[in-house]
């Protein structure tokens, strides 16, 4: 799994050869504690046989008390919400970069967007279970709504890129951008879900470029 939450660098400009000694600040400790908690939750979710993660499991893994967890997050739902926020920030930022890449045609950007979505799930198994909603069913119902809103935003990004392709005359004027964006996002969700349901055996990005051909006709 990729490292989701990186700690801040301890290097000091102009003093590369000297060891840096810093007095811990409560803000930095709290930030790192939150990152450790979220990283641990994501790692625990990588076990396909674990239906529900408890705060006791997270605390035990980190050798902390549950009270210490609640000093960083008011609830377990807030932890899941932070994971969804990470997915949203990461994917939408990548979509933004792809749309700004002038070296790609608009249709090429859509293909890269799809690849990013598949690769992201493949690299973050625990988050794949969050993105499919599998581990959210027994949690706060608002988390499912939060994830649904993210999927809507991803679909919107793909739809707008289809419209860019039409404007650039890469696709015919009567091309149905709405229908095709919906088709793409549902196909991606299907790949994510199969990845999760097979215990991560069927990788989401294990498809050939030919599989995406129907998205451009």
The mean pLDDT of the chain is 87
Residue 28: what pLDDT? 52
- Report residue 203 as tokens: 């990788």
Min mean pLDDT across 150-154, 164-168, 182-186, 204-208 is at 204-208
User: Any idea what DSSP says for residue 7?
Assistant: P
Please give the share of the chain, as a percent, with pLDDT higher than 70: 86
Residue burial 25-45, b: 16+ Cβ < 10 Å; e: rest: eeeeeeeebbbbbbbbbbebb
- pLDDT reading at 16 higher than 50: no
Domains of the chain: 76-216 (1.10.357.10)
Segment 118-140, tens digit of pLDDT: 999 999 999 999 999 999 998 99
Is the CB of residue 185 less than 8 Å from the CB of residue 158? yes
Nearest Cα neighbor of 121 from 42, 177, 51, 20 is 42
How many residues are present in the chain? 217
Residue 4: what pLDDT? 52
Q: How confident is the model at residue 53 (pLDDT cuts 50, 70, 90)?
A: very high
Residue burial 105-116, b: 16+ Cβ < 10 Å; e: rest: ebbebbbbbbeb
- pLDDT reading at 194 higher than 80: yes
**Mean pLDDT of the 90-109 span:** 96
How many angstroms separate the most distant Cα atoms in the chain? 64
- pTM of the shown model: 0.84
Q: From CA 24, how far away is CA 217, in angstroms rounded? A: 58
């Amino acid at each position: 799994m990729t490292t989701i939450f990186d700690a801040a660098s301890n290097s000091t400009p102009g003093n590369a050869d000297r060891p840096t000694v810093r007095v811990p600040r409560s803000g930095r400790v709290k930030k790192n504690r939150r990152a450790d908690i979220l990283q641990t939750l994501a790692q625990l979710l990588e076990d396909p046989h674990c239906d529900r993660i408890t705060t006791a499991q997270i605390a035990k893994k980190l050798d902390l008390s549950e009270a210490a967890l609640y000093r960083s997050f008011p609830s377990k739902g807030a932890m899941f919400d932070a994971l969804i926020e990470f997915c949203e920030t990461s994917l939408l930022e990548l979509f933004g970069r792809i749309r700004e890449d002038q070296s790609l045609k608009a249709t090429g950007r859509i293909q890269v967007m799809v690849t990013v979505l598949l690769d992201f799930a493949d690299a973050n198994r625990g988050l794949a279970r969050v993105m499919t909603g599998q581990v959210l069913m027994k949690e706060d119902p608002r988390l499912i709504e939060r994830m649904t809103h993210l999927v809507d935003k991803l679909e919107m990004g793909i739809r707008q890129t289809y419209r860019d392709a039409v404007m650039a005359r890469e696709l015919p004027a009567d091309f149905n951008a709405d229908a095709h964006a919906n088709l793409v996002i549902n196909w991606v969700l299907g790949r994510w879900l199969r990845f999760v349901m097979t215990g991560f055996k069927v990788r989401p990005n294990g498809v050939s470029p030919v599989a995406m051909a129907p998205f451009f006709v």
